[in-house]
Structure 1
């Protein structure tokens, strides 16, 4: 069968597609690298260990996977362990646990609360946010729904710069503590760190666009009541 496209024109089209593909790849790489640099620089000076972190009224613990039996995954348990240390050391007075509860049979905040209360944190000092569907939603809801003005954000080390940056950009005077203990899960840690590079691009979009969370709702007084108590 004879081609109807002249050889020169076919080569030109292939060249154009190659150039366009290269431009898209380079622009995407620049966006990822630039977003990561912005996240790291914005968080610089605001990330600490448990001993050195400044005190704040609230610890904001960001959600992660919960198993079908209701127990936190090792990554989430490590975050909760840090929050408990902060509370025991008097660094924070209230722990706001923020996670995904889109389905009735999957409840990150409920599992987080149970874990903390079972380990000695008074139930009245643990407040649940059931619509923390991602980092941006958790930070913005902490400020707009729960009235949090200052907080220690708790998550894994590969995530802490982004979490602190987003919280600070939406109006929370945030510092952060990042867990390193679960680095022993090398494959899961590497995947989380890799994924977070691309999540930095989303963080830039979220902050610049100022989008509303997936679910906003009415103000909730749990944090304020716990602080008064």
Structure 2
């Protein structure tokens, strides 16, 4: 009889635990759903697009989550929706460098080097989102990732009063693998809530500000023309001579 009671109590506690997880998961989704775009054509233009990093390969197989994020970023570049890409990810060691990998693929797709900024300290979503504002001085930007990741990223942005929206890119449908990722996301959201509201976790590294500037505005001031004499003919400098863009930074 005592064993039966223990089983009943355990079952009730388990149901409460699962229900709590699902409620928290749904809360995160509901808080952010009105700022998630699915159609790039409906996305307003933004100065900064934050691409959240992930591994390019999983067991020597191309990771579709990475592929879809990069494809969406390249599409936004072609549509001129984004001025500068902030690629943020883990830089664990020399052989694993998410930001550098993303930059190389963007360069191959025709994105100019001076329109790509690397954040090597995006160790997790909280770090990437908060550093975009606190380090790179981006006060309005679009996040580029899958929808489930969008929801958690925007939830974190809300907590830090960051003005962000998200473009939800294609998500692979791979049966049990997708289910495992979704379950893992539920626990990631619970951890994010604990980090934000209980532990008050901050990014691992912040450091000095490195403001992102629009490459179209990175111009040197024009040299003023000397005031001509009254009898002299006014000489007009061509536009190309008045505006000289700064050279693009070297490719990593």
Give the CA deviation at 1:83: 1.3
* Secondary structure of the corresponding residue to residue 147 of structure 1: coil
Q: What is the deviation of 1:196?
A: 1.4
1:75 to 48, 65, 68: 65
For the 8 Å contact 1:152–1:176, the answer to whether it is kept is: yes
Give the one of 96, 100, 108 matched to 1:118.
108
| Cα-Cα RMSD | 2.5
Aligned residues: 216
Tell me what 1:155 maps to: 145
Against the structure 1 CA distance between its residues 17 and 105, is the aligned structure 2 distance closer, same or farther, given a 3 Å change threshold? farther
**Aligned residue for 2:25?**
36
Equivalent position SS for 2:201: coil
Counterpart of 1:217 (choices 202, 206, 216) is 206
Q: Normalising by the residue count of structure 2, what TM-score does the alignment of the two structures yield?
A: 0.76
Identify the residue that residue 173 of structure 1 maps to in structure 2: 163
Relative distance call for 1:120 and 1:187 in structure 2 (3 A) is farther
TM-score (norm 1): 0.83
Counterpart position of 1:140: 130
Preserved contact between residue 62 and residue 98 of structure 1 (Cα < 8 Å)? yes
Consecutive aligned runs of 4 or more in structure 1 exceeding 6 Å deviation: 68-72
Gaps of 5+ in 1: 1-10
Does structure 2 retain, via aligned residues, the 8 Å contact 1:135–1:163?
Answer: yes
Please tell me whether Structure 1 or Structure 2 has the larger radius of gyration of its CA atoms: 2
Relative to total residues, which structure has the larger helix share, 1 or 2? 1
- 1:92 correspondence with 2:82: yes
1:106 and 2:96 matched = yes
The Cα shift of 1:39 comes to 1.0
